[in-house]
A and B are shown apart, each in its own frame.
Chain A
Amino acid sequence: MDWLNALLQGTLLGGLYALFAAGLSLIFGVMRLVNIAHGDLIVLSAYIALSFGVSLGLNPLAALLLVVPTMALIGYALQRLILNRTMGEDILPPLLVTFGLSVILQNALLMGYSADPQNLQAGAIETASVNLGPLAVGVMPVMVFVTAIGVIAALQWMFYHTALGRAFRATSDRQDVAQLMGLNRAHVFGLAMALSLAVTALAGVFLGIRTAFDPAAGGARLIFGFEAVIIGGLGNLWGTLAGGVILGVAQTLGAKIDPGYQILAGHIVFLIILALRPRGLFPRIDG
């Protein structure tokens, strides 16, 4: 029974990891860009929610209405002002620039907020739970998981049934020819990053509600998101959800064996899958 509970908790945790990963997956699909600062942007979202909460007295879930557009704007500006200049054949510039951004973000947060762990208080909902037969399921984790499914479904729908999605796919296929259609590549990439950071905002707020966070927490989040993407397979958003669930379950089961093994268990499962299925479980595109 304990194990069943761990399995359930791990699955729900997978929803959070899928949210970490969805933004990462989206911009890789559209721009072949991997943002090393992604985890730090998740943490930034949590801090922004914290500030909105403190200054406006908002519950973090309500603050989402402000945090999401704020992060989207930051994403658009970041892409157009800085990251667009790194797009090209060479892999070094985007990698090193986003790495530099990661260091800057972490230390700016450190300067602005101190190294003390913070928490987003969402009130009673944090501890509320529902009974599913013999299992007690937290309301928050279920909400996060359902949000993850909703976000991925929305992104899939957008990709395949809207003009914006068409623009993303075309630009990702052939940048030059997409320009011939009248699509401004710089703007399309900006929109993709804006969307990615909007999802990241969700991830950050949910993270902040669930656990304590501090300026250095970004690294681990990037790694979890990345592991979910690789396990699930590149270019497949539903695969990323599966990857997140596998990672979450691995971590929770590992924690059951010994609390110190939690993160390590996740890494080991990731490495095993990398060894046996290098392209992930449900790949759609190649790295």
Chain B
Amino acid sequence: MTLTVTRRTRLSTAWLILLVPIVLLLIAAPWWAGRADLRLMGEIALYMSLAVLWNLLAGYAGLVSVGQQAYVGFGGYLFFALTMLAGLHPYAALPLVVLAGAVISAPVAVLIFRLRGAYFAIGTWVVAEVFRLSFAQISSLGGGSGTSLSPDIVRSLADGRDAREAVAWWLALGAAALVIGAVVWLLRSRQGVALTAIRDNELAARSLGIDIWRTKFTVYVVVSGLTALIGALIFLQKLRISPDAAFSANDWTAFVIFIVVIGGIGTLEGPILGTLVFFALRETLADLGTFYLIALGAVAIIIMLFAPRGLWGFLRDRWGLELFPLSRRVSGLAKKEA
């Protein structure tokens, strides 16, 4: 009897093959999608990125943050500062934003990793508030009322409005691809197995020699850097930034958390599915504002209580589905005796 370890399933192979034409179609979107649709797709791509990142943090590393808006706002503000105050070209500013986001998250991590569980969560919120209050003090970036992205910066992206919309879309699509790709790569690596082990049983993982602190720290820093990138792209789209918008817990945390919980926490497919469901709901239900949030909150609670693995978790448990080839299966075992 020979045992082999495989990661691919028929479904995951089919999915990866299907992915190629899908991606090509998406890249070609500026030619078949209307302007409003293109903007919506960009918004979906950016939210999906935030969701995938938050899920990596909370669902895999066990770091439940309700303060990721700190990095969204930081990324947005830094982008505005680098382009308008330091005169950098937007394309040059973006990678710097990732780097800066990662760098600033390091001391933050050292500090708040002293807290655990829900106290850690609130700690992340305090940090976000500190960021918000601090940036509101910077008068060269508009202080408490914020500032707009100057038209020159916008024009330096590309010539002509259509081209600029296309560029904004490609940046968002690229960012989403980068984020998802990075997460898949991470989860397939040794670090990734360590993460899954930590998620399932921290004590056992530690006894196997896995350095919990370092693994969590790495994940936190990487996620924060990428979150800052998404923040920069979000506010590049919006063309305007203010402390309340940049560091809004509602927009960048509440919605993201609901997306991940409904889609399925702790799986890669979950946040992707959740984002699609979230936007489908948002577009079909007329603008219900406050009530929409209440409904989302209620759905998230019900899912957490009765189907904690979310939509994708339910599908996965029922039919063993997995789109991305992440988990290893042992094949070649003899069938168990009845």
The interface on chain A, measured as residues whose beta carbon lies within 8 A of the other chain's beta carbons, has a size of: 40
B58 near A: Cβ within 8 Å? yes
Q: How many A-B residue pairs have CB under 8 A?
A: 117
Q: Which stretch in B37-45, B123-131, B157-165, B220-228 binds the other chain?
A: B123-131
- Whether the Cβ atoms of B254 and A103 lie closer than 8 Å is yes
Residues of B with C-beta under 8 A to A103:
250, 254, 293-294, 296-297
Pick from B118, B126, B296: contact of A95, CB below 8 A.
B118
B194 near A: Cβ within 8 Å? no
Query: Contacts A36-B118, A93-B304, A95-B64; is A111 near B134 (CB within 8 Å)?
Result: no
A123 near B: Cβ within 8 Å? no
Residues of A with C-beta under 8 A to B257:
96, 99
- Whether the Cβ atoms of B301 and A107 lie closer than 8 Å is no
Query: Contacts A91-B62, A268-B130, A274-B111; is A110 near B290 (CB within 8 Å)?
Result: yes
- Whether the Cβ atoms of A97 and B301 lie closer than 8 Å is yes
- Whether the Cβ atoms of B121 and A36 lie closer than 8 Å is yes
B117: nearest residue on chain A (CB-CB)?
Answer: A91
Pick from A85, A96, A111, A278: contact of B261, CB below 8 A.
A96
A98: nearest residue on chain B (CB-CB)?
Answer: B118
B296: nearest residue on chain A (CB-CB)?
Answer: A103
Interface residues on B, range: 35 or more
Residues of A with C-beta under 8 A to B133:
263-264, 267
Q: Which stretch in A12-20, A62-70, A221-229 binds the other chain?
A: A221-229
A134 near B: Cβ within 8 Å? no
A contact patch SS = helix
Query: Contacts A99-B257, A103-B296, A268-B130; is A223 near B122 (CB within 8 Å)?
Result: yes
A128 near B: Cβ within 8 Å? no
- Whether the Cβ atoms of B305 and A107 lie closer than 8 Å is no
Within the complex, what minimum Cβ distance (angstroms) separates A34 from chain B?
A: 3
Contact with B along A244-278 (1 / 0, CB 8 A): 00000000000000001001100110110011001
**Which positions 190-232 of chain A face chain B at CB distance < 8 Å?**
219, 222-223, 226-227, 230
**Complex: A99 Cα to B249 Cα, angstroms:** 12
- Whether the Cβ atoms of B111 and A275 lie closer than 8 Å is yes
**Complex: A99 Cα to B296 Cα, angstroms:** 12
Q: Residues of A with Cβ closer than 8 Å to B?
A: 33-34, 36, 82, 85-86, 91-101, 103-104, 107-108, 110-111, 219, 222-223, 226-227, 230, 260, 263-264, 267-268, 270-271, 274-275, 278, 287
Which are the 7 A-B pairs with shortest beta-carbon distances? A34-B118, A278-B114, A104-B297, A103-B297, A100-B301, A100-B297, A287-B116
